[in-house]
Amino acid sequence: MTLLLALILVPALTALAIVFAGNSKQVKILSAAGMSIQLLQSVYLLYAFLAERSSGNTEPVLFYNRFAWYSSLHISFDIGVDGISVAMIVLTAIVIFTGIFASWEVEEQYKEFFISLIVLATGVFGFFISLDLFVMFLFFELAVIPMYLLIGIWGSGKKEYSAMKLTLMLMAGSALLVVGILGIYFHSNVNGHHSFNILELSGQQFGIDMQRIFFPLTFIGFGVIGALFPFHTWSPDGHSSAPTAVSMLHAGVLMKLGGYGCLKVAIWLMPQAAHELAWIFLILTSISVIYGALGVISQTDLKYINAYSSVSHCGLVLFALLMLNKTATNGAVIQMISHGLMTALFFALIGMLYSRTHTRTVHEMGGLMKVLPFLSVCYVIAGLASLGLPGLSGFVAEMTIFVGAFQHTDWFHRFITIIAISSIVVTAVYILRVVGTLLMGPVKNETYLKFHQATWYEKLATVTLIAGIIIIGIAPLWLSDMIMESLGAILD
Amino acid sequence: MTWNELLLMRHEWTLIGLALVLIILEIGLSDEQKNRITISASLLMASITIVGFIPAEHGSIFGGMYVTDPIRILMKNILNIGALIIFLQSNAWLSKASMKNRITEFYLLLVSSLIGVNYMISAGHFLMFYLGLELLTIPIAALAAYEQYNSKSAEAGIKLILSSAFSSAILLFGLSVLYGATGNLYFAGFSFTGSLVTVLGFIFFFSGLAFKISIVPFHLWTADVYEGSPTSVTSYLSVVSKGAAVFVLAILLFTLFRVIQPVWRDVLYATAILTMTIGNLFAIRQQNLKRFLAFSSIAQAGFILLGVINGGGLGMATVIYFVLMYVFSNLAAFGVVQTVEQSTGKLNIDDYNGFYKTNPKLSLTMMLALFSLAGIPPLAGFFGKFFLFTAVAENGFYTLLLVAVLNTVISLYYYLLVVKAMFINKSESPIPVITSDGFMRTSLLIAATGIIVLGFYSPVFDYIMELCTTY
């Protein structure tokens, strides 16, 4: 219980401590220290969660605690975690930890940068532990707003446009969520009063008419941040303009709030409408998957490439959730984690390459393998994970998703699954093409020979992420079991 | 009249006392000592605000002409806080050479208007209500034209007095129709039948009050008057005067006009949508920050109507809570605008480019204020807006709710434009470093604390909810 509270308090206090820090060195050490504690806490949470489960505790939510807040509206600060939240928390902790090291070279307004970054992370941690729709929504918006300043001030390219577009689109999504949340609240009746508590709400039987209205609102509301077609357009602009750590955190974690919310709020609370309306959203998500993948092919900027590929991969998450069976949903959660690690690694590497070559255009680079062997190998690993090579996390996720999707035997699901699967081929094409142009061949520029090799902080960031990718790739069963146990409550 | 009955009117008595003390000070102090008036007035106002919070009895006197109850007392206290902040923020402006010898009049007029606010809220009779309303308005018209050599200020004064006179006439016409239909002007025992005549009376009455709240389509005076008036007066108009009118509107609709709830609900439904949308769309185009805040405050008024539409205890509670957060947020924004205006004379959004580099604390305060107005967590505005939305959803008006939430996205756009100017845009000649006086700093500290703490500290809202269960 105190462990979960500490998950929000540690980043919040770290951000507060940075206010009083002196120079850039102190700020970075403080951030790194805070986020290391956060990472250790998260791993300990994972351990404690698994220990509790293996000792036979089958409660749907562990470490549950309730703090009264706005009692007149029955809003309380409810926290607790299930297997999915634990997995997401560990992912977030890894990404923010590596994000701090990937931003080691930020010198412009460093204090404000690290504060905004850590506030953003606080919002994400809060979102994953909260079980009250109001509190969840609060943390959701808290995670979105620092984004505006992070992209607007420290971004590159047409940053002001991108920052505004991203913020407004995500806020429009959360505006739909307000309607959805309040609709759920006022249609609930728990012991004679309304409730925001997800656990209490999950026991409610909402009428199908109510579900037909509020399921789409909630699903689209969360779907916007999960890059649901046609609301994905903020993502390429936002990711390409954002500074490295922000791209990492945003593509790696923030986009997962969408999938997580769709599962925990839209699908869990309004299952009938989910079954009834899934086909509409399946069409939209499969467009995301295939359109994202095809979109990459025409891109030449490394960040745009990765942004479109994120649209495709996150589309796959929502696609799998809409299959509404345990296997596919399990795959969706693994895909969230796998994509989180992989895309964070990609963006970190792009940032590191950019700081040396000062370009992100693929054709202007070449032969990097010869001058920067360490970073190049990391890039290849990220690429292989992205195209689903067995032994790395991407394979586990996509395999599970498609096995789950094929459990539906009607022609519609079959057809749409085949379309989604075909994105794998496209992914292979663009990944291999980029890797070939970027890393292989002769060294494009004489100045490349003077590049300094990867520094300790760059190595730390990349190795941590790669470790995560490989662990899931080689030993996915514990993760998949942990998620599977939690899915029982949600999908039955 | 017994001592206890006198105590019922402590808000009014204390303010009248303040007015008398100010007159005595004006006579007693020599010209060199006049600068002490601000500190005396602020300290006295602070004690009045605190005294207002002391729990006391309530009831009605003068045969029901004057009524107090815990909700009305709370409303007065909230507006007193707003007035106190404005007292503090006026110092820099009043210290200017051109304002010499005119300090006392400013506070005197402000206090008179505040007495009007208090009487209006406590009215138990339509004439009492009208008296309060006029007492609220006329001093403000004088204050709007306070900078006598500034033609814009004179224009603002004349615009305000003309439009107020016009709206008062409409309101009085409505009252006379209501009196003709019911034969009674006391709130207690007002026998409202809901016949067509009374509905007509209500519409006129509502239009008159809508001027004060600047509800679309009665908002046309707002931007010009806000721009021309001295900034302290603009703050007062946008927070205290508007807040008082909203409170009275809510009280009257929830009690007297309860019978014709379907009628006023439709009226408010339409005007709320218009007010939010038009306020927001016009705010996008503004360059002058005072005009900008004028349109933003029109949009906020539209949001407040969402709570009024609810028509129940939740609606009343959310309206009061929203005004409370609005007092802090809007006055923080006006405080920063005032500081910059007094020391540099700059008022355009473009002038704020690079403001964060030179004045980080003021920019952060401004950002807090604007984010709170936009409804960003964990600031007070987020809670205020979310609760208003809860009030709309309670009635099942999900279409209205959808319009409202989409409007918050539009409003976020223009609030972010100001944040962008301060934090992102670069400027070759940014506003130089400003040292604001102690009064201003105190006021901004109070407002910023309110913005940050109000949302986390839930007992405030729970207390208001408890009071409002009677509706």
Strand partners, A361: A301
Chain A residues touching residue B423 (CB < 8 angstroms): 149, 152-153
* Number of domains into which chain A is organized: 1
How many CB atoms sit inside 10 A of residue A48's CB? 15
- Chain A interface includes B360 (CB < 8 A): no
Per-residue b or e along B376-390, where b marks 16 or more CB atoms closer than 10 Å to that residue's CB: bbbbbbbbbbbbbbb
pLDDT the model gives residue B197: 87
| B115-133 pLDDT per residue, tens | 999 999 999 899 999 999 9
- Asked whether residue B471 carries a pLDDT value surpassing 80, the answer given is no
- Measure CB to CB from residue A164 to each of B371, B416, B465 and give the nearest one: B416
Q: Do A175 and B408 touch (CB under 8 A)?
A: yes
- Asked whether residue B165 carries a pLDDT value surpassing 80, the answer given is yes
Helix axes A393-405, A373-386, angle to 10 degrees: 10
Residue A419 near residue A286 (C-beta atoms within 8 A): yes
CA distance, residue B133 to nearest chain A CA (Å): 34
Q: Do B387 and A73 touch (CB under 8 A)?
A: yes
pLDDT the model gives residue B248: 93
For residue B183, the 8-state DSSP code is S
pLDDT the model gives residue B33: 80
Q: Is the dihedral of CA A116, A120, A121, A123 positive or negative?
A: positive
Residue A26 near residue A113 (C-beta atoms within 8 A): no
For residue A262, the 8-state DSSP code is I
Q: Do B387 and A178 touch (CB under 8 A)?
A: no
Measured CA distances, B31 to B39, B103, B105, B158, B312 (Å): 15, 11, 14, 30, 53
Q: Do B398 and A179 touch (CB under 8 A)?
A: yes
- Asked whether residue A444 carries a pLDDT value surpassing 80, the answer given is no
| B259-282 pLDDT per residue, tens | 888 888 999 999 999 999 999 999
Please report the residues numbered 373 through 412 in chain B whose beta carbons come closer than 8 angstroms to any beta carbon of chain A: 376-378, 382, 386-387, 389-390, 393-394, 396, 398, 401-402, 405-406, 408-409, 412
Q: Do A185 and B401 touch (CB under 8 A)?
A: no
- Measure CB to CB from residue A186 to each of B376, B393, B409 and give the nearest one: B393
Q: What is the mean pLDDT of chain A?
A: 88
Q: Which domain holds residue A32?
A: 2-491
Helix axes B398-423, B289-310, angle to 10 degrees: 160
pLDDT the model gives residue B390: 93
Residues 6 or more apart from A423 whose CB is under 8 A from it? A289, A290, A292, A293, A312, A316
Q: Do A168 and B465 touch (CB under 8 A)?
A: no
- Give A96 or A157, the one with higher predicted confidence: A96
| A323-354 pLDDT per residue, tens | 888 888 999 999 999 999 999 998 998 888 88
pLDDT the model gives residue A67: 87
Q: First and final CA of chain A: distance in angstroms?
A: 27
- pLDDT-derived band at A60, boundaries 50, 70, 90: confident
pLDDT the model gives residue B122: 92
Q: Do B382 and A141 touch (CB under 8 A)?
A: yes
Burial group, residue A13, by CB count within 10 angstroms (0-12, 13-18, 19+) = middle
- pLDDT-derived band at B26, boundaries 50, 70, 90: confident
The set of long-range contacts for A359-363, using a CB threshold of 8 Å and a minimum separation of 24, is A360/A301, A360/A302, A360/A303, A361/A300, A361/A301, A361/A302, A362/A300, A362/A301, A362/A302, A362/A305, A362/A434, A362/A437, A362/A438, A363/A300, A363/A437
- Chain A interface includes B419 (CB < 8 A): yes
Residue B345 near residue B288 (C-beta atoms within 8 A): no
Q: Indicate the range of A428-432, B1-5, B74-78, B162-166 predicted with least confidence.
A: B1-5
| A300-330 pLDDT per residue, tens | 888 888 889 889 988 999 999 998 888 889 9
How many CB atoms sit inside 10 A of residue A276's CB? 14
Query: Count of CB contacts below 8 A, A vs B?
Result: 82
Chain B residues touching residue A70 (CB < 8 angstroms): 458, 461-462
- Measure CB to CB from residue A153 to each of B376, B408, B423 and give the nearest one: B423
For residue A441, the 8-state DSSP code is S
Q: Do B412 and A171 touch (CB under 8 A)?
A: yes
Chain B residues touching residue A134 (CB < 8 angstroms): 386
Q: Do B393 and A185 touch (CB under 8 A)?
A: yes
pLDDT the model gives residue B273: 94
Q: Do A175 and B424 touch (CB under 8 A)?
A: no
| A200-210 pLDDT per residue, tens | 888 888 888 88
Report, as an integer, the average pLDDT of A142-168. 88
Q: A interface mutation test: which of B395, B423, B454, B471 has the most A CBs within 10 A? A: B423
pLDDT the model gives residue A1: 53
CA distance, residue B389 to nearest chain A CA (Å): 8
Report, as an integer, the average pLDDT of A78-104. 90
- pLDDT-derived band at B59, boundaries 50, 70, 90: confident
Among chain A, residues having any CB pair with chain B shorter than 8 Å are: 69-73, 75, 134, 137-139, 141-142, 145, 148-149, 152-153, 160, 163-164, 167-168, 171-172, 175-176, 178-179, 182-183, 185-186, 213
- pLDDT-derived band at B39, boundaries 50, 70, 90: confident
Token reading at A158: 């047409």
CA distance, residue A142 to nearest chain B CA (Å): 6
Q: Do B377 and A142 touch (CB under 8 A)?
A: yes
Residue B309 near residue B395 (C-beta atoms within 8 A): yes
| A177-208 pLDDT per residue, tens | 999 999 999 988 888 888 898 888 888 888 88
Q: Which domain holds residue B170?
A: 3-468
CA distance, residue A84 to nearest chain B CA (Å): 25
Q: First and final CA of chain B: distance in angstroms?
A: 30
* Number of domains into which chain B is organized: 1
Residue of chain A with shortest Cα separation from B417: A164
Q: A interface mutation test: which of B320, B370, B390, B415 has the most A CBs within 10 A? A: B390
Chain B residues touching residue A72 (CB < 8 angstroms): 317, 461-462, 465-466
- Asked whether residue B194 carries a pLDDT value surpassing 80, the answer given is no
CA distance, residue B442 to nearest chain A CA (Å): 22
| A401-423 pLDDT per residue, tens | 989 888 888 888 889 898 888 88
| A261-299 pLDDT per residue, tens | 999 898 898 888 888 888 899 999 999 889 988 888 888
Measured CA distances, A391 to A301, A394, A397, A399, A468 (Å): 28, 9, 11, 12, 12
